[in-house]
Structure 1
Amino acid sequence: MKIAASIRAAALCTAVALVPVTTSALAQVDGRASPEFAALFATYQRIKASYVEPVEDDVLIRGAIDGMLAALDPHSAYIDGASLQRLNTMIDGNYQGLGISVQGEDGAVKVVSPFRGSPADQAGIKAGDYITHIDGQLIFGLELDEAVAQMRGPAGSDIELTIFRPGREDSFEVVVTRGLIELEPVTWELLEGDVGHISINEFSADVGADVRDAVRELEDQSSAGLAGLVLDMRRNPGGSLDEAVALSDLFLDGGQIVSQRGRSRRDTVAFDAETVYRGDVAEGVPIVVLIDEGSASASEIVAGALQDHRRALVMGERSFGKGSVQTLLPLTRDTALKLTTARYYTPSGRSVQEGGIAPDIRVPQLSDPDAERRQRLALRESDLRGHLVGEIEAEDESLMRDTLDDPRFQLTAAELEEMGVEDFQLDYAVRTLRRTGGTNIAARR
């Protein structure tokens, strides 16, 4: 899963650094080593002796480490000072900048998700966009940390981003005014008809407790009790496994939530309901879970658990499909490995890897004129170079969205705007809940 637990947390797994860090240590490699390791040492010696310019050991060793991890999967990585600082900043949830989550992809900077209400979100930047230039300067091939450092800056200052959006022929420029970013993992509102809308933006610390408080607050605000609840996990890239379990446990009164299976006994474990919270905090209240192609990892755990137990109806688009667990393994005081150590499975035994969570009802985002084109070109786990292959082969049809015309989803973005509908997926979920009369629609699937 995306690491969202603090690097400062105690009781992290330990690991032995197998890669030597000095020339003298490398010199100890002899004929007793494996042929592969001997080839690595021979390559090192050739580079040191014959490369056109002198090369420092730390450059070669870092390159060897990055190369080993890149050969595994897209989510394993070596984390050093700059990356750790960026990770801790995101965990603290306060910084000055644009308010977007980005990742490197073959030398490009891709937007994973703009945080709701952030300067980037207000400027119209969307998940799946690629940032190609900053203030007119090409950043393709730049180290991700360096690109992120350029995007951060004092609140109130402007930055011009050049955006390439899949589905559009030409790139375009967006001027964003940096702000003070205070991440809010959970927000909520009571909508017309006593339907509660809870947005879970990421799975950082205390998300389970925050959602529990949100449900109680919504119940107090409602006139005659909640008629329905929308758990909105669209564009949520994931986070803490513990918080995904806690959130699922809020709405389940028994059974398994998720299991993970790795090579070691330590990495093979099942998580059950009734271990964090007792009972269903919203017992009898029908629930709709909203997901899309940006919902990954922890979001998929929650959606899969509530779907398998028929506690919630899942709507939206098929999720990202990240069904692997990453563990933070310290190497030194300021370096660590983020290493994939297990796959996870929903209560029914489904592997989320590659296939993701398929919604019970596919609801396109008709209020976004670019949504259809972005859906056709959306990047998911199965598209990432070197991704883990799912253990259970999925039929091709299950990985393709339904292309048949649905009479329910024929309105255009302009028509919806005239009707005052800014978010069609949310509007459809709310209208569905209002029609249920308080019955559990998921149980009737």
Structure 2
Amino acid sequence: MLRATAALLTLALCPAVPLGAQDDFDQQVRSIISAYAIAAANAADPVNSEQALYAGAIPGMLRKLDPHSVFFDPEQFEQLKRMETSTSKGFGSVVSILPGRVIVLQTLPGTPSQKAGLSPGVEILTINGYIIGQLDTEQLPQLLEQSRQRQARLDVRRPGIPSLLHFTMTPEEMQSPSVDRAFFVGEGIG
């Protein structure tokens, strides 16, 4: 695994090296591989070469070459790709989760929660028959996540209204822009 990873790293970096400096570069790569082999052979515990490269050598090299670059190992890169391509479903509410309580802080324009009539300050008492006050801190986020996948019936208490209100909402795909606000700092800037 180490030799294959080192060979791939060498091949990936070779095009960036001018032809005249190739011999020097090859020697530097051999020195790195040799140092790694010595350290791995003398380590008290078995060395995970993938971990050493992905968590140590490559990020360390990038910090030195360009402190603004970020390295993603294969698992992190797959997660990033999923985040960029995935869509999320929901009701368009921003909520505050407290022990045994869920309070609506904001409803986003045009979302199911706004269309249904939820408003800031509303306390959600039940979701699909599950009483919020009876759920522990692990069950509550799970219930909220599950309820975003299918139609949900909410019983809520609105401040100033004595009776409970009932809402049935169907989740929709939510738009989540990576930049939600933009402005000019000054004329010609921004």
With normalisation by structure 2, the TM-score equals 0.48
More helix by share: 2
Give the number of the structure whose alpha-carbon radius of gyration is greater.
Answer: 2
